[in-house]
Amino acid sequence: MALRHAVLAALLDEELSGYQLAKAFDLGVANFWHAQPQQLYVELARLEKEGLITGREVVQDNRPNKRLFRVTEAGLAELERFTSSAPRPSFIRDDLVVMVQAADHVDPAELIRQLGERAVFARAKIDLFDRLLHAMRGERSEADFLRTGTRVGPYLTCLRGLAFERGNLEWCERSVSVLREREHRA
């Protein structure tokens, strides 16, 4: 029971179609959760059936019609209930970290390569998050925006995503330099 609330939270500020939601959740632009398009269409159908969201058909020329969803009163109440319940603790679950755990028993050159690839990916996400944050706060300073802006929730979650990717990047760089130096000695 977790994706439903992520979807509700994503639909709070704007009406979105399944396709639009999917793009956000798939690319991880919605840095607070991740899901495949298929899962979203299923979840949207369920949420609508339960009355937590409503969809309206939008007819388009030259491209397929789409359905835009927004959160209902019942949906908002469900979110309110969710935010009062105990969140489960969050854990790292990352293939790459498992690989590094085995570092002393596998080919270091492979690991260095993998860590390098992840670093590239992390840098791209950091750039993306920087741009998103700037777009949200406009010309205001961050401190000013967080004090007086109208929507700070998405900004705060984006800050978490940014810090997470910075953590990834630093750890990759550190690990590569450690493994490189040990290769030289060996």
Partner DNA sequence: TTAACCATGTAATCCGTTACATGATTCA
Partner DNA sequence: TGAATCATGTAACGGATTACATGGTTAA
Q: How far apart are CA 101 and CA 126, in angstroms?
A: 25
How far, in Å, CA of 19 to CA of 68, rounded? 10
CA atoms of 15 and 85, how far apart (whole Å): 26
Least separation, in Å, of the C-beta of 12 and a second copy?
Answer: 5
Q: Residues near 77 by Cβ (< 8 Å), separated by ≥ 6?
A: none
Q: Is 61 in the site for a second copy (CB under 8 A)?
A: no
Q: Which does 36 bind (CB under 5 to 8 A by kind): DNA, a second copy, none?
A: DNA
Based on the shown chain and the rule CB under 8 A, indicate whether residue 46 belongs to the binding site for a second copy.
Answer: no
Query: Whole-angstrom Cα distance, residue 48 to residue 74?
Result: 11
By beta-carbon proximity to DNA, the closer residue of 63 and 185 is 63
Q: Which residue has the tokens 């209930």?
A: 81
Sequence-separated (6 or more) residues with CB below 8 Å from residue 17: 58, 66, 67, 68, 69
Q: Which does 176 bind (CB under 5 to 8 A by kind): a second copy, DNA, none?
A: none
Among 51, 160, 180, 183, binds a second copy (CB under 8 A): 160
Residues that bind DNA (CB under 7 A): 1-3, 17-20, 22-23, 34-39, 41-42, 44-45, 60, 62-67, 88, 93
Q: Which is nearer to a second copy, 42 or 178 (CB)?
A: 178
CB of 61 to a second copy, least distance (A): 34
Q: Choosing among DNA, a second copy, none, which partner's interface includes residue 65 (Cβ < 5 to 8 Å by kind)?
A: DNA
